[in-house]
Structure 1
């Protein structure tokens, strides 16, 4: 009887197919949710895009990137913006893999950490594992992300202003160089015209000199 019960509890092929279909639909939904999360992430913070802590090791970052990139790969995810999300993810991993860029980013985040701890009236050396940071609302990590976001925005504004200023200066220099080239070109053309008209000027002078001689009156003889 127990054997019959065991047999009767075994899922049928139809039930297995339904379960497989539901799992597939759930997986597809989760992939789309992840794509939306990436678009909502703060684009200037690669840690936010990869949804990983700032203390993550290089290997942990690579592992997380591989997992997410496979999960939302356009070949597996039907979301219309999956290719764009995939590119955003790839750019974030690339920036964190670049030592100089990551150090620059970490410096800004460390500054945000110091500012957040000061705002909480805590020593700047307080570790994230400290019990004083456990029951905060919003959490310390959320406060850190907010402060980091503001500092990164400020940095981006300064960077864009610097680029704009450099472009303006480059434009001014380019206009100066163009004007110098134009002046040299005009001088060269003037010099060429001067040389080309040399014979004409000489002939004109000769004709003028000759006509002046003809106009001279003969001397009157003095009768003695």
Structure 2
């Protein structure tokens, strides 16, 4: 390599100035060409890198939009499911089995309430679904309400078990199998999806019957209360009219007494006039008329006296 370099230097030194200038220009052009190629390669690499990053960003955005749409559809479906649940069964609102604990109720409520919260779900009835979930949780956390629902579940299980026993009596093979398994088949059957579906329908039937009885009883109580209230108002009105009549009667006492006394005096004057105007030789008929008038005047006087006493006391 040293000999090559020395030979190159000698050749350059022995060459003319024009040759040296041409070689220098050629070397500059070569260096410029190399720099331009490196710059182009760098720009090309940057563009390719940017294209790859843009494509990855686009893919991420598409994935986010897709999952957002899927999540929104799930939220809407959950709202529709909640609003279509049986109103008297809070377990159905929360998608829980009948043997769920209080902790299960709270956890499931948190999970479902986040899905249908009105601030996160765009469904127009999200607020109603959220309120239905809150009411279902409140019913299951209330010991009295929970015991009532579980009592209906127990009654439904008893009816289904009795129905199954009747079926097993008719089916000899199933009866022998149940005797051999010593109750294992019954437990397996009660844990099956078929039994759970029948139990759900039976609980719905019992809850509906109880609610109908409760409403009928409430209607009867309301009607009875209305009747008692009406009787009470009529009684009050009757006593009011009686009191007004007594007050009116008391206010006209003096007028009645004066009127009756005036009548007594008029009758007595007529009797006196007849007595004085009739001759001693008048017949017996006229005497009888005078006596009857006198008796009438006496009766009127006695009646006026007794009336005045009753009004006074």
TM-score scaled by structure 2?
0.62
Q: Which structure carries more relative contact order (alpha carbon 8 Å, separation 6+)?
A: 1
Counterpart contact for 2:189–2:195, Cα < 8 Å: no
Which has more radius of gyration?
Answer: 2
User: What is the aligned counterpart of 2:115 among 36, 52, 71?
Assistant: 71
Would you say 1:131 and 2:188 are equivalent positions? yes
Match of residue 105 from structure 1: 149
Quote how far apart the aligned CAs of 1:222 are.
5.2
Partner of 1:5: none
Deviates more, 1:28-37 or 1:111-120: 111-120
Which position in structure 1 is the counterpart of 2:261?
206
The Cα shift of 1:202 comes to 2.4
Q: Which runs of 5+ in 1 are unaligned?
A: 1-7
What CA distance in whole angstroms lies between the structure 2 residues aligned with 1:127 and 1:191? 85
Bigger shift: 213-222 or 31-40?
213-222
**Cα deviation digits, residues 60-105 of structure 1 (max 9, x gap):** 1112112212211112111111122222222111111111111011
1:180, distance to aligned residue in structure 2 (A)? 0.9
Match of 1:140 in 2: 195
CA distance in 2, matches of 1:92, 1:14: 43
**How do 1:1-224 and structure 2 match up within 5 A?**
12-121=56-165, 130-133=187-190, 136=192, 139-218=194-273, 219-220=275-276
Unaligned runs of 5+ in 2: 1-51, 169-177, 282-313
Secondary structure (helix, strand or coil) at the match of 1:55 reads coil
Distance change in 2, residues 1:128/1:37 (3 Å) = farther
CA distance in 2, matches of 1:127, 1:85: 40
Partner residue, 1:4? none
Range with bigger deviation, 189-198 or 142-151: 189-198
- C-alpha change, 1:166 and 1:184, in structure 2 (3 Å) is same
Question: Deviations along 1:41-61, whole A, 9 cap, x unmatched?
Answer: 111111111111111111211
Greater share of helix: 2
> 1:155 and 1:127 mapped to 2: Cα distance?
33
RMSD: 2.7
How many residue pairs get aligned? The number is 213
Contact 2:78 2:116 in 1 (8 A): yes
> Post-superposition shift, 1:27?
1.1
